[in-house]
Structure 1
Amino acid sequence: MTTVDASLLERLHQVIDEHMDQADYSIDQLCRELGVSRTRLFRVTKECTGLSIALYIRQRRLLYAHQLLMTTELRIAEIGDRVGISNPSNFSKYFTEHFGESPSTLRRRRAETRAEETPFPNLRSTEGAQPHADTSIVKGIADKPLGQTTHLQNVRDRTQPSRWWVGMGLTGCIVIMMLGWLLANRARQPASGMHPLPSIAILPFKNMGPADTQPLVEGITDDVHTSLSLAGTIKVIARSSSDQYKDSRKTIWQIGDELQVTNLLKGSVLKNGDHLQIRLELIRTWDDIRIWSKTYEGGYDDLFRLTSRLGQDLVQQFTQPSGELISDRAAQPPTTSMAAYNAFLQGKQLIQTRSKAKIQAGLAKLDEALALDARFADAYAAKASGYHLLENLGYVASPAIQQLAEQNALKAIQLDSTNSLAYSTLGSVYADHYQWANAQAAFRRALACNPNDAYANYWYSLLLRAVGRPSDAIVYSARALELDPLAPVMMAGHVVNQAYAGQFAQARATLNQNQLLFGDSFLYPFSRGLYAMAHNEYAVARAALGETLRLNPAYTDHLPSLLYCQARLGQTDSARAYLATLPDTSARNAYLKAVVYAGLGEREACLRSLKKAADGGYIYKDLLVFPPFRAYHQAPMFQSILRQYGLPLRPMKSTLP
């Protein structure tokens, strides 16, 4: 390293430290303040540290976070904010990857160490005290060659200025940790950036025209998402996660880190009368460099030709020229009528709100679209999804609704044999009616058509869990969580799959990694409660399920599970009071009673209630793997229920695919 490069690296440290708590401080701002080009900054950082500038900044933030954890009483979430990693889940994940333990574990170990060193804390003498250096952190690094050293600036704790200096002992440890980490990681850094696989998130396209063209913008965004998803060789993040960055001030590399993608696609749409303009910009996340951009223009009647062309152009950025560029489905226009397409976009947007009135209004709009084009497969698929939501969300309880969902899905498939939404909706309808084989066939076809469909992966995982294959379910729920990393339902489903498969260490790890991100969602304590119940930790499960009800009082489906845990802990009064107040009027109520009877250890009452529910047309879809019934699997009555509903007589071993 030359003297000039060393000077640049020294100034780089100073600027990073000055802006440590600014999560949105960009690389462009950094270059301007240093007075150097991006190319030179990237070269010097890579040559001196073996890391990209984004990763180097992150590691410096983590080192300061470690310092704050060891020397202050700030809350972990506050420390994440102070070091510019404001996403709690990512802070915990990055910290654990770097130091081999989570922030909470380090904080707890620090407290235990202090307790051991100071048995009489009130008598501690501060006279002549030396800063404590936690040497266990650098265990194993001492034997590694240090190579080129760099100076680490002390960073001031802006909230507690009197405690910002932590002593040369700790600073030395941090330097050694940093150098050891850099040298250990040189070999495993991918040459092309942070992420080894081609992957992309499509940020919400900006509407540059009037507000009433927003459905068109959403439709174009969906078309681009579909084109990339159907390519089959690219990981495409679900819109439910990428849409959360609408109007976000986060930097490109922050979004890339949080979604774990190598590329972001930004776009804008302007409809001015009959003229349409679409601008696209593909940005590499690890170094914030624009690698491709293009503007498409034409008449509104040319919309499908434009979207087909831009989809083709985008897929080419990730494939070899001789490879398959785009599927036949993505290249075909969805309808021959622009009026039908407009009605379809409005109907689809209404259904996505998931409110009863808007779902019904959306179905009416889809009928308008089909009146204009009776061969509009996507409109039939959207109708099937809308009808299924009406029943699934409890808005309408009628077999006729599910029949309409099935009929519209089948009509969509008849017109378009590659329609992933139609297949996945059909799979959900069949699963709701315990038609396991038909549901599996539908989901597998949906995933063959579009492996990047997060919800198809998730719903298929639930089906596999229901038929006693939780180990196989994990494969698909992990994929769903990878594609939709900001969706709490994906995290919850994955945790429960892991717990029901007996992978308790992995389930705990998933919960720990996602606590700060999803801790405010009722689905976090819900999944933690089911994990603890599967692990026979009834006190933990009781507390977690109680927290679920506190966060979402309307979610009473697992109140019997809470009472089950209380009964297992010997607290039977609430369970018996619940049984006395539950009317014996439906098959579902009979099932709820069975869960509570299992907690009370009343075997015969539990089995009779399960049989009554089954004879009345209802079983819990996770009956085969639900922890309260594990002790009853070999009972003849339980086995007869399984046969009655076409379920295997015992949980199955992995049989992928």
Structure 2
Amino acid sequence: MNSAIRKLRDALDDSAENPRFIETLPRRGYRFIGSMESAIPEAVPAAPPAAKSAARNRRGLMAGGLLLVVTVAALVYGTGWWPRISARTAAGHIRSLAVLPLENLTGDPAQDYFVDAMTDALTTDLAQVGGFDVISRTSAMQYKRAKKLLPVIGHELNVDALLEGTVVRSGNHVRITAQLIHAATDRHVWAQSYEGELSDVVALQQQMARAIAAAIGGRPGSPSPARAGRRPAVNPEAYDAYLKGLSVGGRQTVEGFRTAIGYFKEAVARQPDFAEAYAAMGQTQAQFLYAGPLSPREVIPEAEANTRKALQLDDTLAQAHRTLGEILQSFYWQWEEGDKEFRRARELSGNSAEAPRAELLRKGRFEEAIANAEHSLKLDPLSFGAHLGLAAVYRAAGDYDRAVATIRHALETLPAQPRGHFQLAVTFMFMGRTNDAIGELETAVKSSQGGNARFEAYLGYAYAAAGRPVDARRILTAIESRARQQYVSAFGVALIHDALGEKEPALAAIERAYQDHAVEFAQMNQYPPFKTIASEARFQNVLRLIGLPQGQRHE
């Protein structure tokens, strides 16, 4: 379409910057703005040459307009969109939507964190009150400042509707304007503006979500009983600190996590009953289970305390139940108790994709786990993590070919993403393709800024499994050297020693990992089974203590 428009503008001597005939409407498309008159001559004496020239020009403009219409129609039919458009229009209702990044109209880029937080909150609230699928923020946020047309975005996300809007903030006063668009037909379904003080912005978000739900399904849009009346006004300064914490924590870096925790602490200091801030702080602290360089024993007790404080203040916070479930399983190895928290989080969030996948895998219910992971990807189609999650389920179910294909598809968009190469290497190890795994692990280690002890440990294991003990010991020496400076999980050390056939060092390392509450015990399906120490009583005792029967792997 863009190419066709350029050709039309060239033919009409027009430009996008100063249009005289074809105007670009952001995210909407194009419209013809030139004046048009009838090209049928009146019954008058023959026109002079100048008049004939004008008539030809007018006919040229009309032909250009018709060409534009024909071009658009050809694109709609030729790309296969028309069956989707006609089917959805005939359905008469909206089954899925995406909240596009709201536009910051404050005139201050420093307020982007606030506007993005409004987008996230609206996405969450819509998922809770809906009865329809809501695309994850991870995929929707990729369209921030995108110039694509709404029908194109709807096609790429495979949704029936798109919500777009603007946010204006002046001091503690906020105005949010939003409109719901039927994606395929570009038809307005609903539009409304809401404004109020920052202390009431949470209530405004919920009110908007309920109105949208009512417009979509003709329902009254009442809040869920669990959340009704539980969103009190917040201290503006506390809420601002909370939003800043969400913004920097979303960078998924160690420094970002630390800065975010500081903001959350400021938020609860200003408002001690701010449940959402306690929940966000606990969730962020729990990230150090995976990000390092702090040991689980250093961070999890405080993460648990903040999470339980959040639930004490408001036991309907899905995020807090989700974090508690993660802590119970990854730190305490309380599998059933963790499953209950994950199920409660799903009930509260309204997210049909948030099924207890680890529980399904642990119980061998692979078909259900695969269906859930595929549905999760449908709700987050552009998410790298959702692709890796589906691949992990395929791998756990023994469907290695589909796991490899899914990871490679994700790497097409982010070829330098180290987690993708790591997960591909894990799959290759399970397939017995050790040399291929080594190549992927070397790429993962090289791509990891500042190094990643987990990737390095797995590379050391792969070297040992491939009969390269010198390279394996080189990795082992580097890991042990780093461990003298900061926390490094002993689980990876045990894995290398086991592959090298070194029984006593492997047993000593696995026992240290147990004492440290290493997170890898909750992710044992990521690792090949131990061989050298598999039948040793000390190893079996560790598995018994964490509730893992012999030969069973957990996600």
Q: TM-score, normalised by structure 1?
A: 0.65
1:210-609 pair list within 5 angstroms: 210-211=107-108, 213-272=111-170, 275-298=173-196, 303-321=201-219, 328-329=226-227, 332-355=230-253, 359-390=257-288, 392-397=290-295, 399-433=297-331, 434-452=333-351, 461=357, 473-552=369-448, 554-579=451-476, 583=480, 590-600=490-500, 602=501, 604=503, 608-609=507-508
**What's the offset of the Cα at 1:406?**
1.0
Residue among 207, 230, 244 paired with 2:104: 207
Change in CA separation of 1:581 and 1:562 when aligned onto 2, cut-off 3 Å? closer
- The corresponding residue for 1:176 is none
**What's the offset of the Cα at 1:375?**
2.3
Change in CA separation of 1:451 and 1:265 when aligned onto 2, cut-off 3 Å? same
Q: Is the 8 A contact 1:238 1:483 kept in 2?
A: yes
Secondary structure of residue in 1 paired with 2:246: helix
**What's the offset of the Cα at 1:462?**
5.4
Letter in 1 for 2:495: V
- The corresponding residue for 2:552 is 651
**What's the offset of the Cα at 1:499?**
1.3
Secondary structure of residue in 2 paired with 1:649: coil
Residue among 95, 118, 122 paired with 1:198: 95
Q: Is the 8 A contact 2:499 2:531 kept in 1?
A: no
Secondary structure of residue in 1 paired with 2:529: helix
Change in CA separation of 1:310 and 1:610 when aligned onto 2, cut-off 3 Å? same
Q: Is the 8 A contact 1:614 1:641 kept in 2?
A: no
Distance 1:593 1:391 in 2: 17
Alignment gaps of 5+ in structure 1: 1-11, 46-52, 61-181
Letter in 1 for 2:87: P
Change in CA separation of 1:470 and 1:588 when aligned onto 2, cut-off 3 Å? farther
Change in CA separation of 1:648 and 1:58 when aligned onto 2, cut-off 3 Å? farther
**What's the offset of the Cα at 1:474?**
3.8
Secondary structure of residue in 1 paired with 2:404: helix
Secondary structure of residue in 2 paired with 1:293: strand
For each residue in 1:522-543, what CA deviation from the matched residue of structure 2 results, as whole angstroms up to 9, or x when unmatched?
2222221111111111122121
Change in CA separation of 1:471 and 1:530 when aligned onto 2, cut-off 3 Å? farther
**What's the offset of the Cα at 1:372?**
4.1
Change in CA separation of 1:549 and 1:513 when aligned onto 2, cut-off 3 Å? same
**What's the offset of the Cα at 1:356?**
5.1
**What's the offset of the Cα at 1:193?**
8.1
Distance 1:27 1:517 in 2: 26
**CA RMSD for the aligned pairs?**
4.2
For each residue in 1:407-438, what CA deviation from the matched residue of structure 2 results, as whole angstroms up to 9, or x when unmatched?
11112112212101111121222233123233
Secondary structure of residue in 1 paired with 2:98: strand
Secondary structure of residue in 1 paired with 2:106: coil
Secondary structure of residue in 1 paired with 2:521: coil
Aligned length: 502
**What's the offset of the Cα at 1:449?**
0.9
Letter in 1 for 2:105: M
Distance 1:13 1:346 in 2: 38
- The corresponding residue for 1:29 is 30
Distance 1:521 1:558 in 2: 13
Change in CA separation of 1:207 and 1:526 when aligned onto 2, cut-off 3 Å? same
**What's the offset of the Cα at 1:31?**
8.1
For each residue in 1:147-199, what CA deviation from the matched residue of structure 2 results, as whole angstroms up to 9, or x when unmatched?
xxxxxxxxxxxxxxxxxxxxxxxxxxxxxxxxxxx9xxx69983438999722
Letter in 1 for 2:452: Y
Distance 2:200 2:68 in 1: 39
Letter in 1 for 2:29: D
Residue among 506, 519, 525 paired with 1:625: 525
For each residue in 1:123-148, what CA deviation from the matched residue of structure 2 results, as whole angstroms up to 9, or x when unmatched?
xxxxxxxxxxxxxxxxxxxxxxxxxx
**What's the offset of the Cα at 1:266?**
0.8
Q: Is the 8 A contact 1:207 1:270 kept in 2?
A: yes
Matched, 1:58 2:79: yes
For each residue in 1:41-83, what CA deviation from the matched residue of structure 2 results, as whole angstroms up to 9, or x when unmatched?
99x77xxxxxxx54x34359xxxxxxxxxxxxxxxxxxxxxxx
Alignment gaps of 5+ in structure 2: 9-24, 34-62
Letter in 2 for 1:435: Q
Change in CA separation of 1:41 and 1:227 when aligned onto 2, cut-off 3 Å? farther
